[in-house]
Chain A
Amino acid sequence: MTALDTAFAASGVLAVVGGLLAVTTRHVVHAALWLVVALLGVAGALLVLGAELVALVLVLVYVGAVVVLVLFALMLTRAPVGPDLAHTVGPWRRLGSGLLGLASAGLLATVLVPLADGTVQRADVGSQQVAGQLFGTWVWPFELLSLLLLAALVGALAVARRPDAGAPSRRRGAS
């Protein structure tokens, strides 16, 4: 077992444990924080494999922005300090979600494990290679994806705005 294998295994364990705790904890904010641990584990695994740019962007975007937004949203809710007992679910739903989780993990494992040959190999992917691929070969899917996200953003704004928002509605209500 090389140092690379060990590092990869450690990151993997970190990611899996963090992910498991994120879905099983009863503290809503703890779930968000365990998500940070899981993301750092994934980033570590990517770093070991040599995809430095992807790993760092993962931390920057997901930990630095997405988790901050999740925490912001949680602070606006009535999420209690301590276990959230208002949203506990029955044993059948626990069993069902456990089975579903196991099934998807098993499916992924059967597809992915035969592809691995047991050793961890480092493929140094330079940022220039990534940039060349992203802005050369994959530029249209990339742009299409950003268009999709923009559409989602505009859609969210449209949903969030009430149709009769603003001063006219207040006047109607008063009359």
Chain B
Amino acid sequence: MTLLEAALRAVAALAAFLVLPLLVGQAEHKVMAHMQGRLGPMYAGGFHGWAQLVADGVKFLQKEDVTPAAADRWVFRLAPAVALVPYLLALALVPVHPGLAAVDVPGSVLLVLAATSVGALGTLMAGWSSANKYSLIGGLRAAAQLVSYELPLVLAVASVALAGGSLSLVALADAWSPWWLLWQLPGAVVFLVAGAAELQRPPFDMPVADAELVMGAWTEYTGLRFAFFLLAEYAGIVVVSLLFAVLWLGGWHGPVPDALGWLWTLLKGLAVALVVVWVRVAWPRLREDQLQRLAWLWLVPLALAQLVLTGTGVVLGW
């Protein structure tokens, strides 16, 4: 790989990182509004309020960056970066076109999971360092939730890795066949549920619960740092959706020619992201005990059963 190619790949990954979360965010604004029987932002930019997120970004830029006097200064200021940057790495690893990812390494599945698990630390750092009881409770809930849902998430991905016989996302997407839609269905459901829970999206937003914890770990954040947390959430949706599209929906496999594979992958990812938004609108927030019950009594056993099923299938050569 020449220097030029490396630079091109880095720029492409950065561009995707800057554009796709905004796309998902705007889609959420509009889709959620229409699902709730209203219009959503209509003014900014003229056509159906397409520039609303840009306007929001400008607004965030103008706001004062406040660090509370009692806060643990360095940890508080570092937390948004810790939450955001790992998703850039994760997004760079996801392949979008036959055999093409911005960063193609042999163990990319594991690297994506490891990166997102580092990103989760950002929320905990924010929750603890704010020196605010709402933030602390939010951080506690986030930690409990992340530990519980990490396990089914990893097990579901392990099942696909087993089925495809590789730890590389590119190789796994190449190994995909339509039969996986049925064979890997329980794992797919587990991944989607656990992924939404890892992102602390409704109905799994007990840690941010704006009605009772104000905003949980983000309570004390203002301006750009707060925007970074929001951006991390949307980047997380993009990563989870694209990962789901590549691992369970076959990525670029489809009726269109290979040259349009990237479009196909992105469309599948966007469809998954819309499902994530839909879930947010459709379900009320789960209580803390219901959250833990769902993870340990349903998702972990289901993921383990899927692993057994996949192992059987691989040994029998399905």
With contacts A56-B110, A56-B114, A60-B110 taken as known, whether A36 is within 8 angstroms of B143 at the C-beta atoms is no
Nearest B-chain residue to A126, judged by Cβ: B106
With contacts A71-B128, A71-B143 taken as known, whether A63 is within 8 angstroms of B114 at the C-beta atoms is yes
Q: With the chains together, A58 CA to B117 CA distance in Å?
A: 11
A68 and B125 contact, CB distance less than 8 A = no
Nearest B-chain residue to A57, judged by Cβ: B110
Let me know if B189 is at the binding interface, CB within 8 A: no
Q: With the chains together, A52 CA to B114 CA distance in Å?
A: 12
A72 and B143 contact, CB distance less than 8 A = yes
B-contacting residues, A22-63, CB 8 Å: 27, 29-30, 33, 36, 52-53, 56-57, 59-60, 63
B114 and A64 contact, CB distance less than 8 A = yes
Let me know if B203 is at the binding interface, CB within 8 A: no
Let me know if A127 is at the binding interface, CB within 8 A: yes
Across the interface, which residues of B come within 8 angstroms of A30, CB to CB? 72, 75
Across the interface, which residues of A come within 8 angstroms of B128, CB to CB? 29, 71, 74-75, 81
B-contacting residues, A64-107, CB 8 Å: 64-65, 67-69, 71-72, 74-76, 81-82
A75 and B127 contact, CB distance less than 8 A = yes
B131 and A81 contact, CB distance less than 8 A = yes
With contacts A30-B75, A72-B143, A75-B136 taken as known, whether A64 is within 8 angstroms of B118 at the C-beta atoms is yes
Looking at the assembled complex, report how far the CB atom of A128 sits from the nearest CB atom of chain B, in whole angstroms: 9
- B positions within 8 Å CB-CB of A: 70-72, 75, 105-107, 110-111, 113-114, 117-118, 120-121, 124-125, 127-129, 131, 136, 139-140, 143-144, 146-147, 150, 154, 167
Residue among A27, A56, A59, A81 making CB contact with B71, cutoff 8 Å: A81
Q: With the chains together, A56 CA to B71 CA distance in Å?
A: 32
B147 and A65 contact, CB distance less than 8 A = yes
Q: With the chains together, A48 CA to B131 CA distance in Å?
A: 39
With contacts A60-B117, A75-B127, A75-B136 taken as known, whether A52 is within 8 angstroms of B107 at the C-beta atoms is yes
Q: With the chains together, A63 CA to B147 CA distance in Å?
A: 11
B143 and A69 contact, CB distance less than 8 A = yes
B144 and A36 contact, CB distance less than 8 A = no
A72 and B114 contact, CB distance less than 8 A = no
Nearest B-chain residue to A127, judged by Cβ: B167
With contacts A29-B75, A69-B143, A75-B143 taken as known, whether A81 is within 8 angstroms of B121 at the C-beta atoms is no
A64 and B150 contact, CB distance less than 8 A = yes
Residue among B72, B114, B139, B147 making CB contact with A59, cutoff 8 Å: B114
Q: With the chains together, A33 CA to B126 CA distance in Å?
A: 12
Looking at the assembled complex, report how far the CB atom of A122 sits from the nearest CB atom of chain B, in whole angstroms: 14
Across the interface, which residues of B come within 8 angstroms of A27, CB to CB? 72
Nearest B-chain residue to A53, judged by Cβ: B107
Across the interface, which residues of A come within 8 angstroms of B70, CB to CB? 81
Q: With the chains together, A33 CA to B129 CA distance in Å?
A: 12
Residue among A36, A72, A127 making CB contact with B107, cutoff 8 Å: A127
Nearest A-chain residue to B143, judged by Cβ: A72
Which residue of B71, B121, B127, B136 has the most chain A CB atoms within 10 A of its CB atom? Answer: B121
Across the interface, which residues of B come within 8 angstroms of A75, CB to CB? 124, 127-128, 136, 139-140, 143
Q: With the chains together, A72 CA to B150 CA distance in Å?
A: 15
